[in-house]
Structure 1
Amino acid sequence: MDFRIADTFADALARLPAQDQKAVKTSAFDLQLDPSAPGLQFHRIERSKDPNFWSIRVNRDIRIIVHKTDRSLLLAYVDHHDKAYAWAERRRIEAHPNTGAIQIVEVREMIEDVAATWAVAPPPTPTSPPVFQGLAAADLLSIGVPADWVAELKSANEDRFLDLATHLPAEAAEALLTYVANGVLPPPPVPASADPFAHPDALRRIRVVENAAELEAALDAPWEKSSPRIFGDFCSRRSAPPNRRKIGSEDCVCAPLVCGFRWQLC
């Protein structure tokens, strides 16, 4: 059985206090050593759209979210109990039907439910045209946009796109940002293998760990970002002057934090 770790797990682990991190690492080593050990206390995430999400008890409050199939175990996320379950309930892990890359996909319906509960109505803004009206659905699918996000993106104006981009897989968001900046959609990478986990985009977020030493290195070392990645949330640009709100402009004062792009930060 393959044992893998996702960047979402590494990022979440780094946000926990040191004492909890130590306990999580111990549980991760136990899982790698013997996934059938009764002390791990697997519990299926019943409300998840993905039936392969399970939780593992670390201590009274911390839970590891794993994606478990007959062929692999993936450390996907870790957090306090309720937050860990909520993360799993809003995601699924699957191979993209066009690119073939394994993706951690946010479930659009669940995101809308959360937004409806917490969102505060933004101030009115001038109506702007859809930014991707020149792209066909096939174009969006070709760069890794999940199928259930295509229609929403097709109708999105600039402001709506900024809201949506942080919910998309990194390769899709980056390709769309490039398109908005220069009008050219970059070609997706060509996979060297039919294995969805071996796709170049999948390798950016998920890696195989063969033994305890590799797992220790993956847990202790910062996750390397080998290609341009979105590192932060988009900020609201609604308060910016109209002549400084165009995406990709040298004068854009509020823009995505994207490694490798020349856009400025708020």
Structure 2
Amino acid sequence: MLTSFAFADSFLERVQSLPNEAKKLVLRKTAEFAATPDASGFNAEALSGVARQNGWHSARVDRDLRLIWTRIEATIVFAWVDRHDDAYAWADRNRLRVNPRTGSAQRYVAPETVVTPPQRTEAATAVAEPKAPTDRPAQEPPFSGEDDEYLLGLGVPEEWVGQVKSLAAVADLDGLIGLLPDEAWERLVDLANGRRPAVSASATIPDLVDPLRHPDSKRRFMLLSDDAALDRVLAGDWDAWQVFLHPSQRAAVETRHRGPSLVSGAAGTGKSVVAVHRAAFLARRNPEARILLTSYSKTLSVRLAQQLDRLLRGDAAARGRIEVAHLDRRLMDFARLRLGPVNIAGRSHIQPLLDRAASRSETGAKRSGLSLGGVGNGNRCVGH
């Protein structure tokens, strides 16, 4: 009988990337370990060295594959699976802790394992960034004046506070994507952009029944407490963890808007997840509506369609009213609908037209600046 287990998003994504036979084996062994974690065949044990300090344990899948797991209170958390040496290297590099200020469970990269980017040479720096006039004061690191307790309250792990305060520029935050917990990184971005996130005045762990039930934790951990839930995940429902939206994400998904709305954020902050859930929410709420979900990227469009298929499994009517198409295809379909058969115009066709238009202009070709380069690599022209 399953007691309490959780899957980190890192584990689900890693299993999904395995070859089919290895995936099936990992699923079966994970189910067996969930039922009988003390069985001798798993050789479950605490790791040694740095991995042991990080709190990780291993369990045997076969002669080479190892599960990496730990406990948060009474819950076993599966975090990674890999070949023996690679699994242990991952355990050396990653930590899973309960943040003492926010109370959420966090997985992050240990800062001492991050390779420091090479410093630019003085010559390269001079070319890329001309020296400021001597009467202009040097720019202070953006977070150097922040109190340590405030940064901890934003969700920054204690080991990362010093590095965050020493960042030379806001742009350096991009290098911390995937290293810091997502919510900490997002709040630092808000802080850098003049939006000061509020934090709890308490310096102790919030009174939570379970850190894995914290709203921040639900973004990256799927908590299981019954055999049926485990069976669904082990059957391949890899995106099931995405139903646990962060409160700010859920607000964006379920808010009723009177006009256009904008959800902004850097790469990796969950915008695509919000878009998928928003489309599903609208389809379920409006039985007569037809919804278009589009992207500039063909690859992303395919992935969005796959996520919708899984999210709306069992609700074929809602899924059938959502069209997912990358923008180029959608525009071509619209052009064919209005114009009939169309062909993509190539450079040899477009440039003479631009040259002719420029020659007719009073300002002339040089001042007009008309050229194919101005069309942009991502744009298409169509001809009837």
- TM-score norm. by structure 1 comes to 0.75
Match of 2:89 in 1: 86
The CA deviation at 1:198 is: 2.0
Match of 1:251 in 2: none
Rounded Cα–Cα distance in structure 1 between residues aligned with 2:67 and 2:170: 36
The verdict on how the C-alpha distance between 1:213 and 1:188 changes in structure 2, with shifts beyond 3 A counting, is farther
Higher helix share: 2
The residue type equivalent to 2:12 in the other structure is A
- Alignment of 1:198 with 2:246, yes or no, is no
Identity across the alignment (%): 30
The residue type equivalent to 1:67 in the other structure is T
Rounded Cα–Cα distance in structure 2 between residues aligned with 1:70 and 1:129: 41
Please say if residues 153 and 199 of structure 2, whose CA atoms lie closer than 8 Å, have aligned partners that are also in contact. yes
Match of 1:50 in 2: 53
Gap runs ≥5 in structure 1: 230-254
Match of 2:170 in 1: 158
The residue type equivalent to 1:161 in the other structure is L
Rg bigger for which structure? Answer: 2
Q: Which secondary structure state, in structure 1, belongs to the residue aligned with residue 53 of structure 2?
A: coil
Match of 1:242 in 2: none
The CA deviation at 1:185 is: 2.5
The verdict on how the C-alpha distance between 1:65 and 1:107 changes in structure 2, with shifts beyond 3 A counting, is same
Q: Which secondary structure state, in structure 2, belongs to the residue aligned with residue 65 of structure 1?
A: strand
The CA deviation at 1:170 is: 0.7
Cα deviation 1:173-223 (Å, max 9, x = unaligned): 11112223x311333599673532221111222232123321132342213
The residue type equivalent to 1:96 in the other structure is N
Rounded Cα–Cα distance in structure 2 between residues aligned with 1:172 and 1:216: 32
The CA deviation at 1:172 is: 0.3
The verdict on how the C-alpha distance between 1:46 and 1:32 changes in structure 2, with shifts beyond 3 A counting, is same
Matches for 1:150-189 after TM superposition, within 5 Å: 150-156=161-167, 157-180=169-192, 182-187=193-198
The CA deviation at 1:260 is: 3.7
Matches for 1:110-259 after TM superposition, within 5 Å: 110-111=113-114, 115=115, 124=125, 126=129, 129-156=140-167, 157-180=169-192, 182-187=193-198, 193-219=208-234, 220-221=236-237, 222=239, 223-224=241-242, 226-227=245-246, 256-259=267-270
Please say if residues 102 and 153 of structure 2, whose CA atoms lie closer than 8 Å, have aligned partners that are also in contact. yes
Rounded Cα–Cα distance in structure 2 between residues aligned with 1:69 and 1:193: 13
The verdict on how the C-alpha distance between 1:159 and 1:70 changes in structure 2, with shifts beyond 3 A counting, is closer
Rounded Cα–Cα distance in structure 2 between residues aligned with 1:4 and 1:256: 26
The residue type equivalent to 2:232 in the other structure is A
- Runs ≥4 in structure 1, deviation > 4 angstroms? 119-123, 188-192
Question: How big is the alpha-carbon RMSD for the aligned residues of Structure 1 and Structure 2?
Answer: 3.0
The residue type equivalent to 2:224 in the other structure is V
The CA deviation at 1:146 is: 0.5
The CA deviation at 1:163 is: 1.5
Q: Which has the higher contact order (CA 8 A, sep 6+)?
A: 1
Please say if residues 93 and 104 of structure 1, whose CA atoms lie closer than 8 Å, have aligned partners that are also in contact. yes
The CA deviation at 1:160 is: 3.0
Rounded Cα–Cα distance in structure 2 between residues aligned with 1:142 and 1:68: 23
Please say if residues 191 and 199 of structure 1, whose CA atoms lie closer than 8 Å, have aligned partners that are also in contact. no
Gap runs ≥5 in structure 2: 130-137, 250-265, 273-295, 298-384
